[in-house]
């Protein structure tokens, strides 16, 4: 069945436009409460966390009201990274966890993301059940059966201790100078403490949220500020988180960007060096071909999942591999956490640096990324099709013939924005830029 509301990672959109409206989120909370109660077979508890965007207060109240009306107890965590909500859902024996966040999007967007009782993304069946329940009339349970709402006051401290515990025992970050960019997001009050308490000298940017500045010129989608600060501070490394803390990108001491594919390579090579490597690593359709070639040189496979960390996790579980992620910075180390976690992934990279005695620039040097061009084309009002005989398909076939096995073309609709992502990868940057524009123009003309 086709989902009406759920996308790649929950439900997301512009605040005030359906479905990201208070009335819909109220109904969504009630529908979730009904479904989770049925699955839990008893009184259910649901945790709610959020990032720092101003609309989070409004949607937190709407979700709380809907869940309580369905007879569900609610625990409010306040501003918390997405992976922290996943962790606490599991540790608190909750039926589910909900995160109010639009991740790397601007403040005027928001979204609702979900975790099951095990701290993993909801199954397709559960998402479909919630969508079906949204169509039912909202009936409040008897007053004696209403849920209660409480606030968890020590949530941040618990998560800080968890993050520190994922760092190898007996090691510290003493002697390491780190610039940390919190994107004015959900990690602003957590990430600095983690790195400071592990011994690093930490310079912080992007840690003064005002409800409107999340991801604005900072964070993992805007790396110039971090690159400049790393150079200015003569730091050993820079760490950029996104608005809800489930992504991380880094900057080496030279000021060069280190993306998710390169971080996966660094982590995979560290596991090879320490005898903990699996047969391969899970990436996505967007993973750079350079990662595939570099892993193959070390006898490791790269298997590609659909874009989205839930699909990466599913393929990791199927292969029984413990490392996977996306070029955007979702890195999953399943031996230490259940989901993409920017702070934990960064600590794993720093551990590799300390254990090897090498800089991040040295550790990444074994991978040579191929040039990659990405163009986001607004989805045409009339939609777009790749059916036989369409102009888009013809252009795509011509581009693939030009690449002739020396690169890749990938088209996919975004799961978080109303755009078609056109990605072309190959050896010649000028050539792939031209080819990507040809495909993008074909999509624009189709509208």
What are the C-alpha distances in Å from 405 to residues 6, 119, 296, 412, 425?
35, 40, 17, 20, 11
Q: How does DSSP assign 277-300, residue by residue?
A: --SEEEEETTS-HHHHHHHHHTT-
Choosing from 55, 61, 101, 103, the catalytic residue is 103
As to burial, measured by CB atoms within 10 angstroms (0-12 exposed, 13-18 middle, 19+ buried), residue 430 is exposed
Return d(Cα 304, Cα 286) in angstroms, integer.
Answer: 8
Return d(Cα 442, Cα 447) in angstroms, integer.
Answer: 9
C-alpha 106, offset from chain centre: 15
Helix (H, G, I), strand (E, B) or coil at 351: helix
Angle between helical axes of 342-356 and 82-91 (0-180°, round to 10): 100
Return d(Cα 199, Cα 143) in angstroms, integer.
Answer: 51
Q: Which residue has the tokens 């990201």?
A: 20
Return d(Cα 172, Cα 127) in angstroms, integer.
Answer: 42
Cβ(59)–Cβ(100) under 8 Å? yes
Q: Beta strand 11-14 with 109-116: parallel, antiparallel or unpaired?
A: antiparallel
Cβ(44)–Cβ(344) under 8 Å? no
Return d(Cα 397, Cα 50) in angstroms, integer.
Answer: 44
Q: Is the peptide bond before 19 cis (omega within 30 degrees of 0)?
A: yes
Would you give the DSSP letter of residue 222?
-
Q: Answer yes or no: 327 catalytic.
A: no
Catalytic residues: 103
């Amino acid at each position: 069945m086709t989902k009406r509301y759920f996308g790649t990672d929950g439900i997301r959109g512009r605040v005030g436009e359906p479905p990201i409206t208070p009335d819909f989120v109220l109904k969504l909370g009630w529908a979730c409460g009904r479904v989770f109660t049925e699955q839990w077979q008893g009184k259910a508890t649901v945790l709610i966390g959020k990032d720092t965007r101003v609309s989070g207060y409004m949607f937190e109240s709407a979700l709380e009201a809907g869940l309580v009306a369905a007879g569900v107890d609610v625990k409010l965590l306040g501003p918390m990274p997405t992976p922290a909500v996943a962790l606490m859902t599991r540790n608190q024996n909750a039926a589910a966890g909900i995160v109010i966040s639009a991740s790397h999007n601007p403040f005027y967007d928001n979204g609702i993301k979900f975790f099951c009782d095990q701290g993993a993304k909801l199954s397709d069946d559960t998402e479909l059940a919630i969508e079906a329940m949204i169509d039912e009339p909202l009936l409040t349970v008897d007053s004696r059966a209403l849920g209660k709402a409480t606030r968890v006051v020590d949530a941040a401290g618990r998560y800080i201790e968890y993050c520190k515990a994922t760092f190898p025992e007996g090691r510290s970050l003493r002697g390491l100078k780190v610039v940390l960019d919190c994107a004015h997001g959900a990690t602003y009050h957590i990430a600095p403490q983690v790195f400071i308490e592990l011994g690093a000298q930490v310079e912080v940017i992007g840690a003064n949220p005002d409800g409107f500045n999340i991801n604005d010129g900072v964070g993992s989608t805007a790396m110039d500020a971090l690159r400049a600060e790393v150079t200015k501070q003569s730091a050993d490394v820079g760490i950029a988180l996104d608005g809800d803390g489930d992504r991380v990108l880094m900057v080496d001491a030279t000021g060069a960007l280190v993306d998710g594919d390169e971080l996966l390579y660094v982590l995979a090579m560290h596991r090879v060096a320490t005898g903990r490597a699996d047969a391969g690593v899970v990436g996505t359709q967007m993973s750079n071909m350079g990662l595939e070639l570099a892993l193959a040189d070390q006898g490791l496979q790269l298997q590609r999942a659909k874009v989205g960390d839930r699909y990466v996790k599913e393929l990791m579980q199927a292969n029984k591999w413990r490392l996977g992620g996306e070029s955007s910075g979702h890195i999953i180390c399943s031996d230490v956490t259940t989901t993409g976690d920017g702070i934990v992934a960064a600590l794993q990279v720093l551990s590799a640096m300390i254990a090897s005695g090498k800089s991040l620039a040295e550790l990444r040097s074994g991978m040579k990324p191929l040039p990659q061009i990405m163009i986001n084309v607004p989805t045409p009002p009339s939609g777009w099709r790749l059916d036989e005989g369409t102009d888009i398909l013809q252009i795509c076939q011509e581009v693939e013939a030009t690449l002739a096995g020396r690169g890749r073309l990938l088209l996919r609709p975004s799961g978080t924005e109303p755009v078609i992502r056109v990605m072309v990868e190959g050896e010649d940057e000028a050539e792939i830029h031209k080819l990507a524009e040809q495909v993008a123009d074909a999509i624009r003309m189709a509208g």
